[in-house]
Amino acid sequence: MDYIKIRFGDEFEHCKLKSEKSIEEMFQSLNPMFRLEKSSWKPQVDIYETDEDIVIHVTMAGVDKENMEIEISNKAIKITGKRSGNHPREKATYRLAEIQYGSFERILFLPCPIDTNKVTASYTNGFLQINLAKLAFE
């Protein structure tokens, strides 16, 4: 059975803020083939909360389990990975380039403390689902 890598810790090495837009991101919006660094895309995420848990769904079609990692702290969750792309033939001309490849990183801040002993993750048909049980306060 293949497992998804999950690490627990207090803090992440670094967090990117929304205000830190790079020059690459500005140019990439004009031309999707323009890339200066490997971190080039962000998978789409849905997060919902019930009375018992927080559920995170991430679209990651084309990403192998071996190329993804989840880090969980008491405040946030960081999902990183890489999607390998098809390289065009030398004489090929792109007419449309919407599929993004390369490394990605998403940092999601949690709305409440979670019980790290009750975390599960599954990956099926290109969707990652992470269930985070809320910490019960007595």
How many Cα atoms are found within 13 Å in the side-chain-facing hemisphere of 92? 9
Confidence of residue 18 (pLDDT cuts 50, 70, 90): very low
Q: Which two tokens stand for residue 35?
A: 């890339």
Residue 17 has pLDDT above 50, yes or no: no
Strands 5-8, 76-83: pairing is unpaired
Question: Which residue do the tokens 């993750």 mark?
Answer: 121
Examine residue 25 and state whether it is found in any structural domain, yes or no. no
Helices (H) and strands (E) in the chain, counts: 1, 9
Examine residue 66 and state whether it is found in any structural domain, yes or no. yes
Residue 4 has pLDDT above 80, yes or no: no
DSSP 41: E
Q: What is the pLDDT, as a whole number, of residue 36?
A: 46
| Mean of pLDDT values over 51-78 | 92
pLDDT higher at 134 or 75: 134
Domain count, the chain: 1
Examine residue 23 and state whether it is found in any structural domain, yes or no. no
Examine residue 119 and state whether it is found in any structural domain, yes or no. yes
Task: Supply the mean pLDDT for the chain.
Answer: 80
Q: Which two tokens stand for residue 89?
A: 């033939």
Neighbours of 54 (CB within 10 A): 19
Examine residue 44 and state whether it is found in any structural domain, yes or no. yes
- For residues 105, 106, 109, 112, the Cα torsion angle rounded to the nearest 10 degrees is -110
Examine residue 95 and state whether it is found in any structural domain, yes or no. no
- For residues 47, 79, 4, 7, the Cα torsion angle rounded to the nearest 10 degrees is -110
Examine residue 46 and state whether it is found in any structural domain, yes or no. yes
Q: Which of 48-57, 84-93, 110-119 has the highest mean pLDDT?
A: 48-57
Examine residue 97 and state whether it is found in any structural domain, yes or no. no
Rounded CA gap, 36 and 34, in Å? 7
Domain extent for 56: 5-17+40-83+103-134
CATH number of the domain that residue 126 is part of: 2.60.40.790
Q: Which of 138, 129, 134 is nearest to 4 (CA)?
A: 129
Confidence of residue 134 (pLDDT cuts 50, 70, 90): very high
pLDDT higher at 5 or 44: 44
pTM of the predicted model, to two decimals? Answer: 0.72
Residue 25 has pLDDT above 70, yes or no: no
Q: Which two tokens stand for residue 27?
A: 């140019």
